Chain A
Amino acid sequence: AQSVSQHNHHVILSEAASLELGCNYSYGGTVNLFWYVQYPGQHLQLLLKYFSGDPLVKGIKGFEAEFIKSKFSFNLRKPSVQWSDTAEYFCAVSRSSGNTPLVFGKGTRLSVIA
């Protein structure tokens, strides 16, 4: 069965610090990869996704992620975080045969302090 590991449970950063959240998955075939964000009290929103092509994917709000196939990783990055980035971040993966459910990691809570 597929699984997704997010290494950090809670990350605390100061504003303007750089962010990298780790995500590894355990499926040997071709995959689709996603990062979702959940702001306090809200539902999940798509940040970015990778299906194929350039392994460096840019998303909304200045986030990007890099797919490294050899490491089964899809880490999320942002060069300079803002207080408004305080949220929970979820990595997810699906087998790229289409019409398959996503498997989510347990999430990383990001707290950005002034």
Chain B
Amino acid sequence: NAGVTQTPKFQVLKTGQSMTLQCAQDMNHNSMYWYRQDPGMGLRLIYYSASEGTTDKGEVPNGYNVSRLNKREFSLRLESAAPSQTSVYFCASSDGYTDTQYFGPGTRLTVL
């Protein structure tokens, strides 16, 4: 099993550009999450989806949108990128019963 996969691994954007980060899991998990990781800040939850068809805001949702396309896939969209969104983005999934989360390899995003 691949676990949680994310694409792309690296991305450089100019301010104002848009992009979508893709995440997929093959563990048949109900819940999926998007975090951003910044130095000294730990991981902060952007959005999560407790089940297919539902999404909820996390701690830092401003400037982002998400789509739970199906049970496997959960995408994160930046409509108009800003330098403050330069970060490493991690997707995670869990079975929804034990809260144990499994993480993808991350996307390193730089916004110039």
Which residues of A come within 8 Å of B, CB atoms?
Answer: 9, 32, 34, 36, 42-46, 49, 51, 90, 94, 96, 98-107
A43 to chain B, nearest CB (A): 5
Contact B98 A51 (CB under 8 A): yes
A36 to B102, CA, bound (A): 10
A and B contact pairs by CB, cutoff 8 A, 21 listed: A34-B99, A34-B100, A43-B90, A43-B104, A43-B106, A44-B90, A46-B102, A49-B98, A49-B100, A90-B43, A98-B96, A98-B97, A99-B50, A99-B96, A99-B99, A101-B33, A102-B99, A102-B101, A104-B44, A106-B40, A106-B41
A46 to B98, CA, bound (A): 13
- B74 surroundings in chain A (CB, below 8 A): none
- A104 surroundings in chain B (CB, below 8 A): 35, 42-44
Number of B residues near A (Cβ < 8 Å) is 27
